Structure 1
Amino acid sequence: MVGTENLRRTGVVALQNLAVAACYYAAGRLGLLRNLTVEGAVFTPIWPPTGIAVAALLVLGLRVWPGIALGSLLVIMHLTALRPEVLGNLVGNTAAPVCAYLMLRAVGFRTDLSRLRDGLALVFVGALTGMLISSTVGVTMLVIADRLHGHAFWAVWLAWWVGDAMGVLIVTPLLLLLHAARWPPRMSRWQEATGLTLVTCGVVLLVAYSGLSLLFLIYPLLIWTALRFQLAGSMLCALLTSVMATIAATEEIGPFTGLDQIEVMLKLQAFNGTMALTALLLSSVITEQRNTRRSVENACQELVEVLEHLTAGNAPRGGPSSRASGEAGDGPRQETAGR
């Protein structure tokens, strides 16, 4: 019986790892559809596999790290032949999300992202700090293999680091939200959601394809979606905007017209990074405030119920004793008046 249970558990873990590897590989192929070239090195402005890897570790635990390694190996084999430096990239791509997961666990991260500290931890610990490993190892391997000149190290490193961090900032919150969502979702505000979706699509297209520099127009939408739909609305808006901005940047149209590759990379990554930070932190603040207000309201309601119960319990005991006391006091006064 114990052997059967262990075999079943091993089979479940194996299936989870295969699922993580498949999702990692599919996300990698999707991310490679749009890329930029910096100093002869090709990179993706948003690398979704890092977000999938961190989310898988947070939901399923450390046991799925082999699936991350397998998915990374499949992506690397799709891009190039297996060489010694490729193994370094494989180690870096696997170690980065694992270290990010361990650091998030160490700071008490909650996957529901209901507190501001959770949003800050995901940004500064999971994304910006954890992804230092993959970018540093990856670019170092390129230099060691003589596929990248040393003077181009920092430019390529910055592009690699921001791309990996963007995958965590945008993809991980959405996957955590999807995992915790109740199905079927409630559509009490479907009219507002539909209208907001249409407005967002129109503004995003204008921002991405207009020759004017109108990237700032997306921030009022982020505020609106965060106020009304919290994390789900703000992160979906950020994802749509990042994808459209990346397409415009790779095609060098709209606000990216006339810029060289370095300028395109800097402008795109600065816009995507600030937008993702705004969406994630703002929605975390709003969610925390609403949860705090709900907790205070519940506490006040419980206090009212306790007071009502105490009042109802004291009234029967207080009534008869008061009347008895009054009757006892009336007798002597009447007798005194008679004498």
Structure 2
Amino acid sequence: MAAVLVTRRFRLSLEVVLKTLAVAACYYVAGRMGLLGRLTVEGVIVTPIWPPTGFAVAALLVYGVSVWPGIAVGSFLIITSLTTPQLTTFVTVAGSTVGPLCAYLMLRRVGFRLGISRLRDGLALVFLGGLGAMLISATTGVGLQVVTGGLATGEFWSVWLAWWVGDAMGVLLVTPLLLVLVGATGPLRLRRWKEMLFLTLTALIVLPLAVVGELSLLFLVFPLLIWVALRFQLAGSMLCALFASVLTTFEANRRQGAFLDLSAIEIMTKLQAFNGATALTALLLSAMVAEQRATRRSVQSACEELAEVLEHLAAGETPPELPPGHIAALHPDDGTELALDSRWDTDV
């Protein structure tokens, strides 16, 4: 028996180590991809979208708090690939690790569901996981620059805002997409594949036309986002929002289109406003649609079960036992006890 317990503990430890190494590797790769769209604000390198924060929050939600060392290792590897490690590097690594950890703990505290099937899940991810927890990493990173003399005090807020929004956009755009991919099960019907193909082709045409070029038709992105969110919820809307944000970041780096003749701070402000609007539109609308559909399915199931009970009563038969989670009610005519589904509560 002792040998079996030792073997199980060894397997569990090995599994945690492998997951931690995988998280570190993926965090590093995500960071290198994020640096492709980097901008310079007040001499400090910032990114409009920092994918590692989104990946870190998703990894913690899926695998648990035990993989946090992978986040720290991945952050350390990214910093060492850009500059020589110093004592201050570990403070930056700590901030980059504690931020996602706080996001994970706060989301768990409020009962966050990985499927983001309720509006309150979307709101929690936005205000707790994204805007709230990322205050830690941004304040730590930029504050360290000021303390060490690498950044003037008067330049703190502009750099801090760019850093904070970049980390938050990573959570808002990347985390939902990863959670959807992890939880995706079951094939789509042929009719859905046709619609998906049509929407994909439309996005490939409309988004570059709206973002890239001198016309700067950024407003065309939002009707498409709404359409995709209504039909495919998070899976489609977050892909569409991420694609639009990447294209817009590319255009901002070229200083073309909507970003022509703007200063670095103006470019960052305009870019982050657009990225934030697309992320919020896609995430919150998708969560609302998913919640309404879940409520409708629950009510429909309850009606079907109630109709079955009434049929048995009308035939003089004993109604079938219903699953746990039902409540009793009295028949309005003869006082017979009926079983009603507690899922009439629409708080799904």
1:38 alignment partner in structure 2: 41
Q: Secondary structure at the match of 2:315?
A: helix
Structure 1 CA distance for aligned equivalents of residues 296 and 252 of structure 2: 42
TM-score by length of 1: 0.91
- How many residue pairs get matched? 315
Measured after TM superposition, the shift of residue 212 of structure 1 is 2.4
Matches within 5 A, 1:290-301: 290-301=293-304
Q: Secondary structure at the match of 2:146?
A: helix
**Percent identical:** 61
1:75 alignment partner in structure 2: 78
Q: Secondary structure at the match of 1:37?
A: strand
Does 2:261 align with 1:275?
no
Find the partner of 1:7 among 10, 13, 21. 10
Find the partner of 1:178 among 181, 189, 211. 181
Q: Deviations over 1:22-42 (max 9, x none)?
A: 000000000011111111111
1:135 alignment partner in structure 2: 138
Which structure is higher in helix share?
A: 1
1:252 alignment partner in structure 2: 255
Find the partner of 2:287 among 284, 287, 290. 284
Structure 2 CA distance for aligned equivalents of residues 119 and 35 of structure 1: 27
Structure 1 CA distance for aligned equivalents of residues 112 and 236 of structure 2: 21
1:320 alignment partner in structure 2: none
1:59 alignment partner in structure 2: 62
Measured after TM superposition, the shift of residue 188 of structure 1 is 3.6
Amino acid at match of 1:163: G
1:28 alignment partner in structure 2: 31
Does 2:100 align with 1:89?
no
Structure 2 CA distance for aligned equivalents of residues 126 and 13 of structure 1: 24
- Unpaired runs of 5+ residues, structure 2, are 319-348
Q: Deviations over 1:254-313 (max 9, x none)?
A: 211111111100000000001100110000001100110111111001111111111122
Does 2:171 align with 1:161?
no
Structure with bigger gyration radius: 1
Q: Superposition RMSD on alpha carbons, in Å?
A: 1.2
Moved more, 153-162 or 206-215: 206-215
Q: Secondary structure at the match of 1:33?
A: helix
Amino acid at match of 1:141: L
1:237 alignment partner in structure 2: 240
Amino acid at match of 2:117: S
Amino acid at match of 2:130: A
Are the equivalent residues in 2 in contact too, given 1:85–1:142 (CA < 8 A)? no
Amino acid at match of 2:101: V
Measured after TM superposition, the shift of residue 184 of structure 1 is 4.7
Structure 1 CA distance for aligned equivalents of residues 188 and 21 of structure 2: 28
Q: Deviations over 1:117-141 (max 9, x none)?
A: 0000000000000000000000011
Amino acid at match of 2:300: E
Amino acid at match of 1:209: V
- Unpaired runs of 5+ residues, structure 1, are 316-339
Bigger relative contact order, structure 1 or 2 (CA pairs below 8 A, ≥6 apart): 1
1:335 alignment partner in structure 2: none
Moved more, 107-116 or 203-212: 203-212
1:226 alignment partner in structure 2: 229
Q: Which runs of 4+ in 1 moved over 3 A?
A: 183-188
Amino acid at match of 1:295: S
Structure 1 CA distance for aligned equivalents of residues 199 and 283 of structure 2: 18
Does 2:269 align with 1:266?
yes
1:211 alignment partner in structure 2: 214
Measured after TM superposition, the shift of residue 186 of structure 1 is 4.6
Measured after TM superposition, the shift of residue 185 of structure 1 is 4.8
1:47 alignment partner in structure 2: 50
Q: Secondary structure at the match of 1:110?
A: coil
2:113 alignment partner in structure 1: 110
Structure 2 CA distance for aligned equivalents of residues 203 and 263 of structure 1: 25
